[in-house]
Amino acid sequence: MVDDKGSCFLTIDVGTEGTKSAIIDEFGYVLGMSYYEYKLEVPSPLWATQDPRVWWHAVKETVREAVISSKVDPDRIAAIGVCGQMHGPVPLSREGEILYYQPPLWCDKRNIQQCLWLKNKIDEREFLRITGNPITTAWTGLKIRWIKDNLPHVYEKTYKFLTPKDTIIYMLTGEFATDLSEASGSYLFDCERLEWSPTLAEILGIDLERMPKIFSSYDIVGEIKKDVARELYLKGGVPIIAGGGDFPCAVLGAGGIFDHLAIDIAGTSSLVAVSTEELKTDERLLNLHHVVGRRWILFNEIEAGLLKWFKESFAESEKVVATMLHRTTYQVLDEEASMVPIGSDGLIVFPHFIGERVLGRYNIKGGMIGLSLIHTRAHIYRALMESTAYELRRVLELIEGLTSVSARAVRLVGGGAVSPLLVSIRANVYGKRIELLKNYQGGLNGLAILCMLGLKFDGGSLSKILERVIHVANIIEPTKDHHEKYTAYYASYKKIYDLMGHFYENRGYNTGVLESD
């Protein structure tokens, strides 16, 4: 039992676009935070990768800055939690040497051939029943299989495959470990016994001894090494929990432990999820084990950094204006897009720049329909937001149909929560109330909750911890007229999507080059 009076927690989120670190107190308030941005590297079609050394550098920079800005005595930091982008296997030697500096990330699709190989090898419906998930390029197991097939020398030298956040935990502690949420997204996990599955490992041809030990997300896996602690302005011996995937932690950080509450996470990728007691399977939806209890998270996600792509590609003038006004570029873009009518004057953008996951059409690409001379950059920017909301509504409708539970509200967290335009669009497309939290950094908030559970704060009562940590700051209700307009646009979007999907499937578009007749 830890005396929780005045305690704080160091929370680290190793994301796809950057790393955030924050010092959070026992009431969920952020006392200091820092962000380090980096790029998603795309060296070849279908690839998406990052050098793990960039993550570690970002962690060191942000932790030091968060500690300094918080003005918190390091002695008050009771525990450390790490979450991060999921599914990207980093091969490490027994000594902790990184063996491959271009690991396939969650949005990498270089393993399409491995997916096809698996589809031809097994009954997909039986595989869905066993794993809780359809076959997708995103899950860890088939990425490891790609490494085995294409880099056999790396595979043979690998002692353990660790995901991004587990790689950082190793750097901090020297321990090889993972958690239930990450393990459940691997195709190597027994969903009933909650352990690695020899049967699935045999199907994929992967050696289970190369996988780390599985912990509950709030289990303490080790302590920060003394030399690392000094480098990060921390005291030695601080316990570190197993943590979890970024979005399962964000679901917890938003209070997502009830099936009547949907969680919308507006980050690099956008997703909508509902927590369920029982594993519910559907070929159009995905499941991950929750970071608390014996619960599951039913979800699907879309896109990867499209608003950032737009900002970097088309918003040079807005960057200048933002600098002059001491605002962010996104704030300037939002103001411009807010002047565009609902439906973006008929412009529809398809947000599948790196393929599509909801309906399993990985070959489909992004596109724009209805573009005319009246359309401006602001139209495209708003249409990107709207199309993302259409896809998320499709996911939520699938979840509600499968669970027979209609979400009474949608709680939105992540960077998108600071955009009034994005929040308004989501509320009106869903036709549901949006709840915003005082601490919109869902993943970091979730880590603080897990740290408290691991240290038995409030007697280890999750409900008591949630009650004092989660604070609803604002509620946005949908407008009936706007919802009806968006519902009409949503219907058009789905019809055009089907036509686009058939085009890409029939033309065999999968590597960026259309096959000739």
Q: For 142-167, what is each residue's pLDDT tens digit? A: 999 999 999 999 999 999 999 999 99
Q: Has residue 222 been placed in a domain?
A: no
Chain centre to alpha carbon of residue 488: 29
DSSP 432: S
Asked if the structure places residue 288 within a domain, the reply is: yes
Considering Cα of 179, then 180, then 182, then 183, what sign does the dihedral take? positive
CA distance 350 to 508: 18
Q: What is the pLDDT of residue 362?
A: 62
Alpha carbon distances (Å) from 120 to 7, 79, 117, 135, 502: 53, 46, 5, 11, 22
| 50 falls within a domain | no
Residue 391 resides in a domain: yes
Q: What is the domain count for the chain?
A: 1
Q: Which two tokens stand for residue 191?
A: 């969903």
Is 361 within 8 Å of 394 (Cβ atoms)? no
| pLDDT tens per residue, range 251-299 | 999 999 988 899 999 987 789 999 999 999 999 999 999 999 999 999 9
- What are the b/e assignments for 340-352, b being 16+ CB within 10 Å? bebbbebbbbbbb
Q: What is the CATH number of the domain that holds 423?
A: 3.30.420.40
Does residue 184 lie within any of the structural domains? Answer: no
DSSP 477: P
382 within a domain of the structure (yes/no): yes
Per-residue pLDDT of the chain (517 residues; tens, 9 = 90+): 444 458 999 999 999 999 999 999 999 999 999 999 999 999 998 899 999 999 999 999 999 999 999 999 999 999 999 999 999 999 999 999 999 999 999 989 999 999 999 999 999 999 999 999 999 999 999 999 999 999 999 999 999 999 999 999 999 999 999 999 999 999 999 999 999 999 999 999 999 999 999 999 999 999 999 999 999 999 999 999 999 999 999 999 999 998 889 999 998 778 999 999 999 999 999 999 999 999 999 999 886 688 989 999 999 999 999 999 999 999 999 999 999 999 999 999 988 887 666 566 666 788 899 999 999 999 999 999 999 999 999 999 999 999 988 999 999 998 899 999 999 999 999 999 999 999 888 999 999 999 999 999 999 999 999 999 999 999 999 999 999 999 999 999 999 888 887 777 776 555 433 333 3
Reported pTM? 0.91
For residue 238, being part of any structural domain is answered with: no
405 domain-assigned? yes
Three-state SS letters, 365-425: CCEEECCCCCCCHHHHHHHHHHHHHHHHHHHHHHHHHHHCCCCCEEEEECHHHHCHHHHHH
Determine the structural domain holding residue 282 and report its residue range. 258-437
